[in-house]
Structure 1
Amino acid sequence: MTRLSRRHAFCAAWLSLLSAAAATASMTAAQVIESTKPTDWRALDPDNTLVMELAAGQVVIELAPRFAPRHAANIRTLAHEGYWDGLAILRVQDNYVTQWGDPDGESPDKAKPLGSAQKKLPAEFSVPLKGLPLQRLPDVDGWAPVTGLVDGMPVAADPRTGQAWLAHCYGMVGAGRDMAADSSNGTELYVVIGQPARGLDLNITVVGRVLQGMQWLAALPRGTAEMGFYAQPQQRTTIQRVRLMADMPEAERPQFEVMRTDTDSWRQLLDARRVRREEWFVHSPRHINLCNASVPTRPRTAAAKG
């Protein structure tokens, strides 16, 4: 190939790349998702997925063992041994959290046995930032100098302290605790159902997030007692059962997949959310915050199941 022909080939390739980039830059969020490849999505990890059954429907929770390994392990044990089966949703505080666990958990003579799960765990509020595969967001955050996503989870970080932590965005699940920092063990859990509760960051161990079924937790009647607790036992919602997905027959497992956050498609989706190209929008914010960077899910395709 002559120098001239190589130059023509290079120019053609460069123009092709520019054309592809321009086409991507003009897409809406829905178009980006529609144009994704199968490799832009991942299946659920059966060993780190909980399935909660309520009378209203199913809630699917993905655990975060990278950030709370001891709590995640204890929660897997509790689910495997049926700890939450028959327990209840105890508290629904408007614009804050829905919380569930043992109504008699504070009464030693009435509390449900923990089986082989551990009664006491260390607090797991943060992890080292160094080596964390963080996909950073360039947008400004008022709660932390650095934000981004890891394993699809919203993460905040501070390079000065070298620490990173899961953020209390909508749908994130934490382990309730008492006054002592190390008083959580995963038996009592809550999910954020309103405005991101970022003031709780670095104060509570965050153990995962709800991937599907938030409507069943966010639409429950609000408790009328202090902090949204139910004043009467009959007001509580019974938890039929909570299972680890790995313990479920294949036919009963949730059949959906989660968009990966380490791909070009994810970056294009974030851009499409910053710069709104849908005809309806009069003003485009050109900004996204950590808790707006929610990760899409979709039904698993036949090819993916195979």
Structure 2
Amino acid sequence: MRLHPLSGLTMATVLGLAQLPAHAAPAQIKAPAELPAKASVADAIKASAPSDWRPLDPDNTLYLDIPAGRVVLELAPEFAPQHVTNIKALVAEQYYDGLAITRAQDNWVVQWGDPNEKSPKPILHAQRTLPGEFTVPMTKITNFTRLPDADGYAPQVGHSNGFPSARDPKSGTAWLTHCYATVGVGRDVGSDSGGGTELYAVIGQSPRHLDRDITVVGRVVAGMALLSTLPRGTAPMGFYDSPGKNVPIKAIRLAASVPFAQRTNLEVMRTDSAAYQAVLEAQRNRGGPWSKVAAGHIDLCNAPIPVREVAK
């Protein structure tokens, strides 16, 4: 299976997240009053409270271990429930262990899966393919905080439980967007030709034109540099031209199955918090002596979501 040629930091299940109505917009969430008029992102993070942060849910967090280190991914079951369940089944049977990163296309994606297409690794309990989950009904999404800035790809954009997302009130649908660090499911031409046996992460300029054409299952929250700096493949579409260049996957594990002492203990800023609105405003209107012109605008995929490692 090959990803069709037309073919960063997050949240799935939240622990203690205050729910906002689906129409919630930044104007309803005030930035901390104690911040200076032209606060920096660092200022906003420093002024945040413990309640502005949430831990990763270990039942929806994956550890992708490669020779260079660990990549942490957070899954989004609200947007792709069947694929997330299937990916976790693949992880449980250790399907990905011993497979490889086979593709690193400049300004596009890094992709991993089974390098042996002629004699693929058997699957024990999971499914090899599933119907595409390109959009979901808006009513299925429990949380959406809208950005006020215009977007060229969707009527509304913002964050749904920490994931960059979009929605169309006319069609009543919502979907995850292709931003840097987005993780999606590789497929062939058929919408039902992927199931999670091949996954990719965006390493280039946000390919938003892929939105609603591929199942998005989550995003990388830590270790992105381990993927984005891989040597570029020289074969068509950025695939490595010989097996020796593939990057071996040591293991992919669900965080919940990893002993606590061996987990990567991260917190992500809640995107429905006042602190995050302060982060957005700081990025939208960059202050300080270096900046000469404040953009007064922020693109969804350039909206940073702070992540921090905390003591165990």
Task: Say which one has the larger Rg.
Answer: 1
Q: Give the Cα–Cα distance (whole angstroms) in 2 for the partners of residues 97 and 163 of structure 1.
A: 26
Q: What amino acid sits opposite 1:112 in the alignment?
A: K
Structure 1 CA distance for aligned equivalents of residues 67 and 306 of structure 2: 25
Q: Residue type of the partner of 2:87?
A: I
Aligned-pair CA distance for 1:22: 6.7
Matched residue pairs, number? 281
User: 1:124 pairs with 104, 126, 133, which one?
Assistant: 133
Q: How far apart, in 2, do the equivalents of 1:113 and 1:159 lie?
A: 42
Q: How does 1:1-306 map to 2 (within 5 A)?
A: 21=33, 23=35, 25-104=37-116, 106-107=117-118, 110-130=119-139, 132=141, 133-301=143-311, 305=312
Rounded to whole Å, the distance in 1 between the matches of 2:41 and 2:234 is 40
Give 1:293 shift.
Answer: 1.1
In the alignment, the residues of structure 1 paired with residue 153 and residue 83 of structure 2 have an alpha-carbon distance, to the nearest angstrom, of 25
2:24 paired residue number: none
**Deviation of the 1:299 alpha carbon:** 1.4
SS across alignment from 1:89: strand
- Distance (whole Å) between structure 2 residues aligned to residue 263 and residue 169 of structure 1: 21
**Is this contact kept in 2: 1:80–1:247, CA < 8 A?**
no
State the AA in 1 paired with 2:201.
V
Q: Matched residues in 1 for 2:292 and 2:232: separation? A: 36
3-state DSSP of counterpart to 1:173: strand
* Structure 2: distance between partners of 1:54 and 1:95: 21
Mark the runs of 5 or more structure 2 residues left unpaired by the alignment.
1-29
Q: Name stretches of at least 5 consecutive residues in structure 1 with no aligned partner.
A: 1-17
1:21 partner SS: coil
Distance 2:240 2:38 in 1: 49
Cα distance in 2 for residues equivalent to 1:22 and 1:298: 22
TM superposition shift of 1:280: 1.6
Question: Of the two structures, which has the highest relative contact order with CA contacts closer than 8 Å and spacing of 6 or more?
Answer: 2
| d(CA) in 2 for partners of 1:88, 1:163 | 34
Q: Tell me if structure 2 keeps the 8 A contact 1:24–1:268.
A: no
Distance across 2 between alignment mates of 1:68 and 1:126 = 8
Most deviating of 275-284 and 81-90: 275-284
Q: Are the counterparts in 2 of residues 148 and 154 from structure 1 also a CA contact under 8 Å?
A: yes
C-alpha contact (below 8 Å) 2:35/2:47 kept by paired residues: no
- Root mean square deviation, CA, Å: 1.5
- Alpha-carbon contact 1:126-1:202 (below 8 Å) kept: yes
TM-score w.r.t. structure 2 length?
A: 0.87
In structure 1, distance between residues paired with 2:35 and 2:227: 39
TM-score norm. by structure 1 comes to: 0.89
| Structure-1 separation of matches of 2:128 and 2:41 | 45
8 Å Cα contact 1:49-1:245 kept in structure 2 = yes
- CA drift at 1:131: 5.8
Q: Report if aligned partners of 1:60, 1:212 keep a CA contact under 8 Å in 2.
A: yes
- How many angstroms does 1:244 deviate by? 0.7
The amino acid across from 2:238 in the alignment is: G
Question: Which amino acid is 2:96 matched to?
Answer: W
Tell me the equivalent position of 1:8.
Answer: none
User: Once the 2 structures are TM-superposed, how far is the Cα of residue 158 of structure 1 from its aligned partner?
Assistant: 1.4
For residues 68 and 210 of structure 2, the distance between their equivalents in structure 1, rounded to whole angstroms, comes to 29
Identity in percent: 52
Q: Measure, in 2, the Cα distance between the counterparts of 1:84 and 1:120.
A: 15
Paired amino acid for 1:156 = A
